[in-house]
Structure formats: structure tokens, C-alpha cells
Amino acid sequence: METNDGNFKRIMAGLFFIACLIMIVVGVFIIGIDRGLTEPKFQVLVLFNQVSGLVEGSPIRISGVDVGVVGSIDFLSEPIEGRSLKVRLDIFKKYEFQFRKCSKVSIRTEGVLGQQFIEISEDHSLPVFDPTAPIIGEDPLDVEDMAAVITRTAISLQATSQGMQDVLHEWKYISIKTRKLLNRVDEKLLEGNLFKVF
């Protein structure tokens, strides 16, 4: 009797373990489908000088729509057109038509300190992509570069402000002199001596 009860508990524990494994596999499969792991993709190489925190698995977007993920990031053995990093984009096949209309690839940041993502967009001043050749991407704006630009702008604004103060000071001086001159003319007019010649 005790053996049957022990066997029953073992069988139930085994069934529970198998049910948990099945639930984990189904969960991973559903998440994989949601992330597009089972969708057919095509690959494109994009060359950058700097990826600024971009990682494998980062989203790729066209007009704000997620169309794929970053497949890999690696160094080139020889720089191509001044670029030393290659980023492989895995783009869902169903968005190939939209991709072929685009002509610009850049790295963007969500919010101020958010995650990095690849943005693909149309730029009518540039030729559309040739997916068989590596694409030259636009490097992200470096924080140090941005700080330098802000510093130069602040210095320029300070110089402009100083110049404006100098001009206002000159105008004030001219205004005082003009007022004095007009007061004298007014006095002479009242006295009737303005047009008298001695």
C-alpha cells in the first residue's frame, strides 16, 4: 500500500516536471515568434566609425516601425571609405519593399539616455540602397562633439552679447548728445536767435 502511494507521488512529480518543461518551451517559442525569431530575414551590412553603445539585438526601425534587429557588430580587417566597424542588420523579409525605398542609415537614441537603435529613412537627396553592397551609415553625434559645439555656441553668444552692449552704449551716448543739441536748438528758437547772423 505504501509502495503504491510512493509510486503515485513519483509519477505525479514526474508529470508536474514534464508539464513545467512543456510550459517553458511553449513560452520561449511564443516569445521567439513575438520577437520575429522564426520570420524569414535578409541581411545587410552597414559600415560605421563608431556605434556609440549599439549592441546585438538592438531594434531596427523604418518610420518608427520595428523591422528587424542588429545581428552582429564587428571590426573590419581593412577600413572601407574611412569606416572601421561593420554592423549586420537582420531585416524581416516582409519589409524588404520599404527598405529598398530608403537611402539613409543612422544610429539614434531613445530619449536622452535610452537604448540605441538603428533608424533607416528616406532621403531624396541620396541614392536608394544597393543591398548587395555595404552601406555607409551616419555615425551618431558624439557627446564630446556636442559639448564642444555647445561651448563654441556659448562663447559666440557671449561675444555677441558684449557687442550688443557696446552698440547700446554708443546709442545711449548718441541719444544724449542729440537730446542736448535739440534742447539748444529749441532754446535758440524760443529766443529767436537761431537764424540771426551777426
pLDDT tops 80 at residue 176: yes
Classify residue 68 by burial, with Cβ atoms within 10 Å: 0-12, 13-18, 19+: buried
In this predicted structure, what is the pLDDT of residue 81? 83
Instruction: Write out the chain in H/E/C secondary structure.
Output: CHHHHHHHHHHHHHHHHHHHHHHHHHHHHHHHHHCCCCCCEEEEEEEECCCCCCCCCCEEEECCEEEEEEEEEEEEEEEECCEEEEEEEEEEHHHHHHHHCCCEEEEEECCCCCCEEEEEECCCCCCCCCCCCCEECECCCCHHHHHHHHHHHHHHHHHHHHHHHHHHHHHHHHHHHHHHHHHHHHHHHHHCCCCCCC
In this predicted structure, what is the pLDDT of residue 61? 92
pLDDT tops 50 at residue 198: no
Q: 87: pLDDT confidence band, cut at 50, 70 and 90?
A: very high
Sequence-distant (6+) residues with CB within 8 A of 65 are 95
In this predicted structure, what is the pLDDT of residue 8? 82
**What is the average per-residue pLDDT within 161-180?**
85
**What is the average per-residue pLDDT within 151-172?**
84
Asked whether 129 and 91 are in contact (CB, 8 A), the reply is no
pLDDT tops 60 at residue 197: no
Q: 88: pLDDT confidence band, cut at 50, 70 and 90?
A: very high
Q: Which residue has the higher pLDDT, 173 or 193?
A: 173
**What is the average per-residue pLDDT within 123-141?**
80
In this predicted structure, what is the pLDDT of residue 192? 67
pLDDT tops 70 at residue 78: yes
Q: 1: pLDDT confidence band, cut at 50, 70 and 90?
A: very low
Q: Which residue has the higher pLDDT, 39 or 147?
A: 39
Q: How many residues does the chain have?
A: 198
pTM given for the model: 0.57
Q: 144: pLDDT confidence band, cut at 50, 70 and 90?
A: low
